[in-house]
């Protein structure tokens, strides 16, 4: 059995939205991360990944993204708590709202940073760096 997690590589102009995970989190506490969360059981539904992504973005940081989102990559890993996770990353563009830290149990801070600032930060784990590198390359490829 897998936990399915979705993450958003959100851009606005030349900056990317990242969060510093709460120290209360069981996985990657205190680290720089993309916004996201676990897919919940909803029965028979369509667009479950996309709806989960939008819900998590709004619940964690209070913003909305454009209707068009792009698949970046999927990976699997074993979380610190032993859960087997499938993680799916999407490229999103900020469309409205001011970022706020709406979930202090999950998020310590919300940051808009350049790709270089994120990649150079020692608190950015390798998997987040790889997701952002791929999202940045896809954004260039799409010309958005």
* pLDDT computed for residue 103 by the predictor: 73
- Model confidence, pTM: 0.92
State the pLDDT confidence band at 107, using cuts at 50, 70 and 90: confident
Q: What is the pLDDT of residue 4?
A: 97
Residue of 85, 108, 101 whose CA lies nearest to 24: 108
Model confidence at 143, pLDDT cuts 50, 70, 90, reads very high
Kindly report, residue by residue over 115-134, the tens digit of the pLDDT.
999 999 999 999 999 999 99
Q: What is the 3-state secondary structure (H, E, C) of the chain?
A: CCEEEEEEEEEECCEEEEEEECCCCCCCCCCEECEEEECCCCCCCCCHHHHHHHHHHHHHHCCEECCCCEEEEEEEEECCCCCEEEEEEEEEEEEECCCCCCCCCCEEEEEEECHHHHHHCCCCCHHHHHHHHHHHHHHHHHCC
Tell me the per-residue pLDDT of 12-52, one tens digit each, with 9 for 90 and over: 999 999 999 876 766 667 899 999 999 998 888 899 999 99
d(CA 30, CA 33): 9
pLDDT at 105: 75
Query: What pLDDT is stored for residue 30 in this prediction?
Result: 83
Domains detected in the chain: 3-142 (3.90.79.10)
């Amino acid at each position: 059995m897998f936990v399915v997690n979705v993450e958003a590589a959100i851009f606005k102009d030349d900056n990317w939205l990242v969060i510093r995970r709460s120290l209360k989190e069981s996985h990657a506490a205190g680290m720089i991360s993309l916004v996201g969360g676990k897919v919940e059981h909803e029965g028979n539904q369509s667009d479950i990944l996309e709806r989960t992504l939008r819900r998590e973005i709004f619940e964690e940081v209070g913003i909305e993204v454009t209707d068009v989102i792009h698949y970046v990559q999927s990976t699997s890993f074993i979380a610190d708590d032993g859960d087997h996770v499938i993680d799916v990353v999407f490229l999103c563009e900020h469309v409205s709202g001011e970022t706020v830290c709406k979930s202090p149990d999950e998020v310590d801070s919300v940051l808009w940073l350049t790709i270089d600032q994120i990649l150079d930060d020692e608190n950015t784990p390798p998997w987040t760096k790889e997701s952002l590198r791929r999202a940045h390359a896809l954004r260039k490829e799409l010309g958005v």
